[in-house]
A and B are shown apart, each in its own frame.
Chain A
């Protein structure tokens, strides 16, 4: 039986090719994404393991709060502890180390800002055993107050060679250093994309403001003493609040933290893969439905000569398993290319990722094959069940594929799916349901609409195809062909609907976000903004604000900061402001209390949060900071406009400085003195900032443009990723058309026989494709606008108050989809025009 199956499959090469392609593409996207994230994770594992390979045991302060974001999440280690550690039995060597924010400038004076990775300054260990895989590739270790060693990537990017002088920016004033060494990490040129500056210990302590303390103590064990033993011994000698870990544990922790910072990206990538696979599933489903319909006669013949339904089903099952496994394996192989392409794509949009090289793990193969095969089998079995329900003799009599009627059950199922999906979606967006329900709800809505689509797709095809009638017979026949099998047209278009829905939702979301930003900006009254040169920077030195303050013509200077702490029992973000000046530069919309009442022990809370937690002016908010530990704040006021600060808690800058002495500033707003021209003052500030490359100045318009720029580049990346799903969907159109052409061989032959030219036949197929893709695009755009608006409304409290629908952009998407439909039709149209007239018209 299996042999008969395989022969049967090979006999229909086109059918096989089209189905296999759709499975392989869906799986390729999934596998590629998995490989990419796996590669990223391994990159971090290897990197941090390499770096800490020299450290057997590390000593540090216990964390007050589990804040992984940013540096300085722990209290310092007193330097006296070094002698204690050195005295522990089994310690061969021990050294204190510090690290902190240090931004390098290239030879052009511009900061070397990595994408999405920190800019670190380190003390360089003196004991070579502690260096681990951190090696000096050239030059020597830094000695004394004016020397620095930098990582190889920074040297290349900043065009810095040994002997060059570079400006290094700290939380305090920037200082020039001579590059004396270039550092590498095993084979890597940098630490997971971050920049590293190494100083000798004393210099590092000075520039990083950690005089007399360490961040940690690194220990080398004596021969024969295991890391774990030594950890326990050192641990026993430590005072309260200090902890000892093995080097491996620290590496794991750092790696986990780095991975966590990429977790969002992973989820996003898996999300895209899921979308692609969902689209792929539609295509596979559709392809199998059409094939089984076309094979109804063959299946009926098998039944007529005595095969049971079970046997027929088993045949199809075996076929689909063989096909599913083979095509999925192909998909996994294609995934390698997909992973490389994705990574190139992301760095093209300015999001470069550390990578350990793409490799095919056994887990990726298993997941890819399992998912691909499952989707294939499910897609194959459902239509086969339908086909085998037909009485054999009916199928043999009727050569045309049976067209099932739209049943009430189908209507009910569709309505239930749409209803349940919408309910989930809305409850996740506006209620307290978990975020995953957004995805599940959306999938259900799409499935429901796919179920209902045959009801209205005929009407849509009729309307969309109406202008085609002006294009003569080919256009008219195309319109009717698109209308003749609503189920097929519907499921083909649905694949496109999914991609277009996402693209359109993102477009609506981004447009609303931009509109809201301009809205936020109108709530600020600042003339000039001093900000970091790129959105990737952590912040800038407080020296910048002081320098700006001294510029001629500068009236009011008000800076803001941003940090993470445990507030009221959960770790979250807070903002800090300058209470006396804040209200002069932006509007918080105070509901009770006032901004100027904000003391260094006070906190402002957002209206919604105050409502939820029952907070009123005078209530206490407990807080825990990484470096400095517990603190009590009392509520000084409640605000309603989250827009500019963007967080639920606001404290004073002074309180922030106390809580985290090493913090950076994120934005400094400036009001010019009466009678001064804004652009003149801007120029003066620009001149002053030449000495502070970690900050730049913008007027309102430029600030707005910079914010839009970030949104645009993110929007670009997301759209390109989603377009891959659209490309898969177009492949589905190619599939459907190719199989339709195959199914209509006789019809096409007749048309050719009675005088239709090849050009007319091609036009007919092409217009049908345009009708289908336009249906998908229009439906997708409508759904996307709905989803986008729902998303925007749900975030109304988070600063996205405006709603904008980019009509022109969406119209362009629909036009682009129609053009893509023309492209999708090229192959099938050629095939249709070359139909063998004789085979089509000759009696069987």
Chain B
């Protein structure tokens, strides 16, 4: 299965239509997202970039069903998640979405292996052993699987978190500043893993980052400023992203 093969399918994994997210009321109202519309393609690695306060995390949260937009519609696959109640949304997250957070968020009482299987256990499903094994191998955690999070380095913990996000074969994986708490070596390893998950395992990944080097691992970069997508870049390089960001800041 190659990248080109996946791209020819060109289906949409997630879609935002005229999404607005407002905080506060009246004069104090702040628009975190201002009429955003975007399609996230299946089988691609999409990065969302923007300066602090641009609304990039908010966009990720509403796309992932963690937060509700003030107006507009969000689709995950064919499901309009803005119409779902809390229970339906929770089950959708459980079955179709994977998450990677900046601060790892592993359960300290569980081993690495148990943390990876957590979403499947919550759903009461049996993990697909071949799939899990291939993820674990890719992520390079083999000998550490029986360790508790407190016995792992930050990079290792985040790789556990990434493996957890992929273990249930989700339709889409959302990563919120996944390299934010990692050193550059660990960051590089994690991003390579995400890249591999998209290109070799056919996964769909959406990542919020403020790091041009991280964004350069993506197939497509969306640029957000003041709550709106102002531009995007295909197959970015680190330098191109950095230059663009410099212009944005100017």
Contact = CB atoms under 8 A, between A and B. Distances in A.
Interface of A: 400, 472-473, 477, 480-481, 483-484, 746-747, 749-758, 760, 837-838, 840-844
Given A755-B119, A841-B99, A841-B176, A472 B66 contact: no
A760 B110 CA distance: 17
Counting chain B CB atoms within 10 Å of each CB, which of A747, A753, A760 scores highest?
Answer: A753
A837 B99 CA distance: 12
Given A842-B61, A843-B177, 8 more contacts: A400-B108, A477-B107, A746-B103, A755-B90, A758-B86, A841-B101, A841-B176, A843-B101
A746 B108 contact: no
Given A838-B67, A843-B177, A754 B108 contact: no
Contacts of A840: 105
Interface string B116-160: 001101111000000000000000000000000000000000000
A757 B107 contact: no
Nearest to A752: B90
8 contacts: A480-B110, A750-B107, A754-B119, A755-B122, A757-B94, A841-B99, A842-B61, A843-B103
Contacts of A842: 57, 61, 176
Nearest to A834: B86
B109 A751 contact: no
A746 B119 CA distance: 16
Given A841-B66, A843-B180, A746 B105 contact: yes
Nearest to B103: A843
A843 B93 contact: no
Contacts of B91: 755, 757
A756 B110 contact: no
Interface residues of B, number: 32
Interface in B77-127: 86-87, 90-91, 93-95, 97-99, 101-103, 105, 107-110, 118-119, 121-124
Contacts of B164: 754
Given A760-B122, A841-B176, A842-B57, A753 B108 contact: no
Nearest to A759: B87
A754 B118 contact: yes
Nearest to B92: A755
Contacts of A746: 103, 105
A650 B146 CA distance: 76
Interface of B: 57, 61, 66-67, 86-87, 90-91, 93-95, 97-99, 101-103, 105, 107-110, 118-119, 121-124, 164, 176-177, 180
Contacts of A753: 66, 93, 99, 101
A384 B107 CA distance: 27
A324 B124 CA distance: 47
Contact of A838 (B66, B98, B124, B177): B66
A403 to B, nearest CB: 10
Contact of B95 (A750, A755, A841): A755
A755 B89 CA distance: 8
Given A754-B118, A842-B57, A477 B109 contact: yes
Nearest to A841: B101
Nearest to B149: A400
Contacts of B66: 753, 837-838, 841
A473 B122 contact: yes
A472 B110 contact: no
Contacts of B122: 473, 751, 754-756, 760
B181 to A, nearest CB: 8
A758 B121 CA distance: 15
Nearest to A398: B150
